[in-house]
Amino acid sequence: MPEDKKKKKDGNGVAPAGWCEDFPASAGDLCEFTPPANASITKSGNYWPFCGPNGTNLPSPITFQANTEVYIKSDATNGTYPFTPSPCSKEMTHSVTVG
């Protein structure tokens, strides 16, 4: 039976992360961003929930290049964490809710 990559299981799933939108995720999830050209996300709160594969450090801002993989840190506790994606039609803070 094929595994549905959108299904979250034990924090190793895929979080559908629309660009310039709030989204839910679990610790350890791959963020399925579809960024436009010259895109970046910048820290807006006290905690930066994003990292690279295997927990590698991705400091703010993350500038998206070809094949940039962004994950939710495996030690992220349940909560809502703000970030600012750019470019957006209306620049504003968005959030990821880990839970």
Predicted confidence (pLDDT) per residue in 33-86, tens digit: 999 999 999 999 999 999 999 999 999 999 998 789 999 999 999 999 999 999
Distance from C-alpha of 66 to C-alpha of 93, rounded to nearest angstrom: 24
Dihedral, CA of residue 92, residue 90, residue 26 and residue 75, to nearest 10:
-40
37-51 in b/e burial notation, b at 16+ Cβ within 10 A?
eebebebbeeebbbb
Domain ranges of the chain: 14-98
**Which letter does DSSP use for residue 54 in this model?**
G
Predicted confidence (pLDDT) per residue in 4-26, tens digit: 434 334 456 999 999 999 999 99
Fold (topology level) of 14-98: Immunoglobulin-like (2.60.40)
Q: Which tokens sit at 46? A: 């006290």
